[in-house]
């Protein structure tokens, strides 16, 4: 049995994660949720004075916005669409028949107007664009959402439905890159405060296919994505628990995020992987919160 299977098994045995029979789809115990809630309060403490506008979208987004985002060009392998039965009574009969004989009953399901949210910030850009011009001083948002990615794995740090807390900044080039740097510094400070070993490294997204390799190299060469890494399932290959993304004016141009003078806004987003951070804490300090060092409990629970 490899290391990551055994960490997952220990999480199941302790009851922190609850098996569903699907890799990467888990229930969470009250203790697990207490850690996430406490860590989110720590995030509030660090970011609370910035005056971000809080918005909470549900974990599904408008399919038209999803299509316009270009997600299917970059990450078709990760997307999850919501399909429903839209047929007649006759269709229903054949559906039930199909299920009865163990045939594929899902092939006649039809796409709805909802797609599962792939990252917390995706529903934000069209929402802000609809409001009209961005103020000169830019805009800052505080988001949290369950996100879906079709990447089943035995690694407990790679789930199919997980929560992302995000801050998203819109403004000038300088404004949003300063925002990103500020959160890189805060991220290191926060993780240190709860006794976690961190490194920051340049990164890239897993763009699909051969053309995607070029996009990934370009993203790296231009330092558009950084990750804050913490050991969870391997010390040699620590896990990305935060990411810091500079989109240049790509999202601004796509969605029409403009200042009053017509110039296109730049955007950046900073994401916390909440399950990963909780898992990093359990990995570092043990599976029983009561046994965690006082120095770790204090910044989380006061």
Residues at the contact surface with Zn ion, assessed by CB under 5 A: 119, 121, 269
Query: Is residue 159 at the binding interface for ligand ATP, with CB under 6 A as the rule?
Result: yes
Closest separation in Å from C-beta 103 to Zn ion:
40
Does residue 187 belong to the site contacting ligand ATP (CB under 6 A)? Answer: no
Residue 247 binds which entry of Zn ion, ligand ATP, none, CB below 5-8 Å type-dependent: none
Token pair in block for residue 166: 């995000």
Residue closer to Zn ion (CB basis): 16 or 119: 119
Q: DSSP readout, 35-62?
A: HHHHHHHHHHHHHGGG-PEEE---SEEE
For Cα atoms 232, 238, 243, give the angle at the middle one, nearest 5 degrees: 105
Among positions 63-122, residues that touch ligand ATP (CB under 6 A) are 119
Cβ-Cβ contacts under 8 Å for 84 (sequence gap 6 or more): 109, 110, 112
Q: Which is nearer to ligand ATP, 69 or 243 (CB)?
A: 243
Q: Which does 151 bind (CB under 5 to 8 A by kind): Zn ion, ligand ATP, none?
A: ligand ATP
Q: Is 168 in the site for ligand ATP (CB under 6 A)?
A: no
- Other Cβ atoms within 10 Å of 223 Cβ, number: 12
CA-to-CA distance for 162 and 160, rounded, in angstroms?
Answer: 6
Nearer to Zn ion, 70 or 293 (CB): 70
Site of tokens 């429903």? 84
By the 8 A CB rule, do 228 and 198 touch? yes
CA 68 to CA 72: how far, in whole Å? 9
Q: Which of 38, 116, 141, 158 binds ligand ATP (CB under 6 A)?
A: 158
Tokens 């408008």 appear where?
Answer: 62
CB of 149 or CB of 266, closer to ligand ATP: 149
From ligand ATP, Zn ion, none, which one binds at residue 121 (CB under 5 to 8 Å depending on kind)? Zn ion
Question: For ligand ATP, which residue has the nearest CB?
Answer: 273
275 near ligand ATP, rule: CB under 6 A: yes
CB nearer Zn ion, residue 233 or residue 267: 267
Q: Closer CB to Zn ion, residue 164 or residue 190?
A: 164
Binding site for ligand ATP (CB under 6 A): 119, 149, 151, 157-159, 162, 164, 205, 227, 240-243, 271, 273, 275-276
């Amino acid at each position: 049995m490899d290391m990551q299977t055994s960490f997952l098994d220990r999480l199941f045995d302790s009851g922190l994660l609850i098996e569903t029979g699907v890799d990467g789809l888990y229930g969470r115990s009250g203790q697990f949720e207490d850690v996430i809630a406490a860590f989110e309060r720590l995030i509030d403490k660090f970011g609370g004075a910035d005056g971000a506008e809080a918005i909470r979208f549900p974990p599904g987004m408008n399919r038209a916005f999803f299509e316009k985002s270009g997600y299917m060009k970059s990450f078709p392998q990760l997307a999850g669409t919501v399909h429903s039965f839209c047929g007649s009574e006759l269709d229903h009969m054949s559906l039930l028949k199909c299920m009865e004989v163990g045939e594929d009953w899902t092939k006649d399901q039809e796409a709805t107007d909802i797609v599962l949210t792939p990252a917390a910030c995706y529903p934000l850009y069209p929402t802000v664009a609809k409001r009209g011009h961005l103020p000169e001083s830019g805009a800052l948002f505080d988001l949290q959402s369950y996100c879906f990615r079709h990447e089943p794995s035995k690694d407990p740090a790679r789930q199919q439905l997980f929560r992302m807390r995000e801050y998203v900044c819109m403004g000038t080039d300088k404004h949003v890159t300063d925002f990103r740097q500020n959160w890189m510094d805060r991220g290191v400070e926060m993780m240190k405060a709860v006794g976690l070993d961190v490194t920051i490294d340049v990164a890239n997204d897993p763009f699909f296919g051969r053309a995607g390799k070029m996009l990934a190299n370009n993203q790296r060469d231009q330092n558009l994505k950084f990750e804050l890494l913490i050991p969870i399932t391997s010390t040699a290959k620590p896990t990305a628990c935060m990411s810091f993304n500079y989109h240049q004016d790509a999202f601004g141009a796509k969605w029409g995020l403009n200042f009053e003078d017509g110039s296109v806004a730049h955007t950046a987003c900073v994401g916390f992987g909440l399950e990963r951070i909780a898992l990093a804490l359990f990995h570092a300090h043990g599976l029983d919160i009561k046994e965690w060092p006082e120095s770790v409990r204090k910044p989380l629970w006061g």
